[in-house]
Amino acid sequence: MEKIQNAGDVNVVSNINANPTNKNVKGRIDRISHCITNDNNTLPACAEFTQPGDFSERSCTFHGSKIIINSHIKNVIHLIHSPASCAYYSWDYRPNTYSYCFTTDLKEEDVVFGGEKKLYNAILKICEEFNPDAIFVYETCQSALIGDDISAVVKSVKKKLNKDNNANKNIPILAFECAGFKGKTQNKGHMIANKKLFELIATKELETITTTTPTPYDINIIGDFSTGSSRSIEEIFNKMGIRVLCSFTGDATIDKIRIMDNAKLNIVHCMKSSIQFANMMEKVYEVPYIVSNFFGIKNCCDALEVVGKILNIDKKLVDDTIDYYLKKNKNELEYYKKELKGKKVFICHGAQRALNYMGPIMEELEMEVVGVATYFANKENYEKIVKQLPKGAIIIDNPNTYELESALMDCKPDIFISDSKTKELVHKLGIPYINGRAPSTVYIGFDGFINFAKDVHGAINSKIWKLVK
């Protein structure tokens, strides 16, 4: 570790060779080492806490648990022990279409006298009014700071339900101790949620859920957090005779999580925290895992071949499945490649999504990636990003609005790929944008890659840009 700057009273520490001569991105002096121009050798400073006052695009630990990991699990009631604002934030960003979300709506009085009683009553009320598969209770900054112990409250609710022989006494009530300040980024929240959900595995027999016995072709997909994407990967595997027991958590139910231990293979699609989950499954339930990327045609082909080999699937069936999708998408792929070749792209996402997207965008669509910004990435992620990116491209670690704006003005991309948080900024700058998370479509899988190319093409060629520029 090397101290490289002293900006006023903020000491900035970098663990890599920062590039203080970078001219492309304007910003605070203590952020210089986080914004670099790629020379295929230098890495940006990373894995640090966001400085107060820095309008970073990162999310909090609670968001990582509730929104990213848990929001797609079906028929669960989420109870957020917080003022209404945390619940609103978590609802607005990724609307919860599969379950209800409640908050204890902590007020000043609760902050002074404690909110445990309120939480206790709220859980009992949910048990009385609804019949969910599970109740997920979340700690937030406020409830953690006043010392409310959500795990202890959950324990006493369970005791009461058992004592009363309540009809809901056996439903899982899980306490997620994920106060927003607990980690540097939302990634800590992913880990907290994964660890808690892991407790559900092996709590039911497969036969009680599927009415069939385990097969040698049962797998889980880990780390795809979108129902559409999960179903599209599942559809491809079904063509090869493979059954997906659980897509964790993009298309998960409580019951599907319970039987994950029956899989013969786990396929990790994305995220550092998913590898941690896969490692836990390997250690405890002896389910091996591989890491795959289903973004891009070539990556899909590679993934099917590898999985086919591991599960000993007839090679002809694997080849036929691949051929089917290649033929189906050939013409459209060629069209979009011709249209998009040479267009400039700026990607702003979590590290794994940025990495997954970069290769196929550059190799299969022959577009030029002129910049990558990531909300949370570590040294290993940046080593890969730096190697793949062309020289002169901009890299920003944990970007704030000012830095993004200055980078975009400098490199003027034809398309900006990010999530919904940065949409307004790029629209104001008159730059075409698509949401790389694909909230209303699918970018994963063979057909998904064509959807992606089509959306990028549509955004770039929208007539609106002629009016706003």
Q: In the set 141, 280, 290, 310, which binds ligand SF4 (CB under 6 A)?
A: 141
**Which residue is closest to ligand SF4 by CB?**
180
Tokens encoding 3 = 């101290």
Identify which range of 57-65, 190-198, 269-277, 445-453 contacts ligand SF4 by CB under 6 A: 57-65
Which of residues 82 and 99 has its CB atom nearest to ligand SF4 in the complex?
A: 82
Pairwise CA distance, residues 225 & 271, whole Å? 10
Cβ 106 to ligand SF4 shortest distance, Å: 11
Question: Is 140 near ligand SF4 (CB under 6 A)?
Answer: yes
Tokens encoding 379 = 């040294």
Tokens encoding 450 = 């064509």
Identify which range of 8-16, 81-89, 95-103, 159-167 contacts ligand SF4 by CB under 6 A: 81-89
Which of residues 92 and 286 has its CB atom nearest to ligand SF4 in the complex?
A: 92
Q: How large is the angle between the packed helices 315-340 and 227-239, nearest 10 degrees? A: 130
**171 and 149 Cβ atoms separated by less than 8 Å:** no
Cβ 140 to ligand SF4 shortest distance, Å: 4
Which of residues 89 and 357 has its CB atom nearest to ligand SF4 in the complex?
A: 89
Number of Cα atoms under 13 Å in the Cβ half of residue 390:
15
Question: Is 385 near ligand SF4 (CB under 6 A)?
Answer: no
Tokens encoding 441 = 């479509």
Identify which range of 16-24, 60-68, 189-197, 222-230 contacts ligand SF4 by CB under 6 A: 60-68
Cβ 49 to ligand SF4 shortest distance, Å: 13
Which of residues 86 and 191 has its CB atom nearest to ligand SF4 in the complex?
A: 86
Interface pattern 85-114 for ligand SF4 (x via CB under 6 A): -x--x-------------------------
Q: In the set 28, 33, 62, 73, which binds ligand SF4 (CB under 6 A)?
A: 62
Pairwise CA distance, residues 178 & 186, whole Å? 10
Helix, strand, or coil (residue 395)? strand
Cβ 98 to ligand SF4 shortest distance, Å: 21
Q: In the set 180, 371, 445, 448, which binds ligand SF4 (CB under 6 A)?
A: 180
DSSP 102-140: EE----HHHHHH-SHHHHHHHHHHHHHH---SEEEEEE-
Which of residues 141 and 310 has its CB atom nearest to ligand SF4 in the complex?
A: 141
Which of residues 183 and 432 has its CB atom nearest to ligand SF4 in the complex?
A: 183
Cβ 181 to ligand SF4 shortest distance, Å: 6
**31 and 399 Cβ atoms separated by less than 8 Å:** no
Question: Is 79 near ligand SF4 (CB under 6 A)?
Answer: no
Strands 394-397 and 35-37, bridge-based pairing: antiparallel
Q: Cβ atoms within 10 A of the Cβ of 39, count? A: 12
Element (H, E) at 346: strand 344-349
Which of residues 8 and 147 has its CB atom nearest to ligand SF4 in the complex?
A: 147
Cβ 83 to ligand SF4 shortest distance, Å: 8
Q: How large is the angle between the packed helices 297-310 and 315-340, nearest 10 degrees? A: 170
Question: Is 82 near ligand SF4 (CB under 6 A)?
Answer: yes
Question: Is 136 near ligand SF4 (CB under 6 A)?
Answer: no
**Residues ≥6 apart with Cβ < 8 Å to 416:** 345, 346, 348, 408, 422, 426, 431, 432, 433, 434
Helix, strand, or coil (residue 458)? helix
Which of residues 141 and 306 has its CB atom nearest to ligand SF4 in the complex?
A: 141
Pairwise CA distance, residues 83 & 86, whole Å? 6
Tokens encoding 246 = 């659980």
Q: Kindly list the residues in this chain that would bind ligand SF4 in the complex (CB under 6 A).
A: 60, 62-63, 82, 86, 89, 140-141, 180
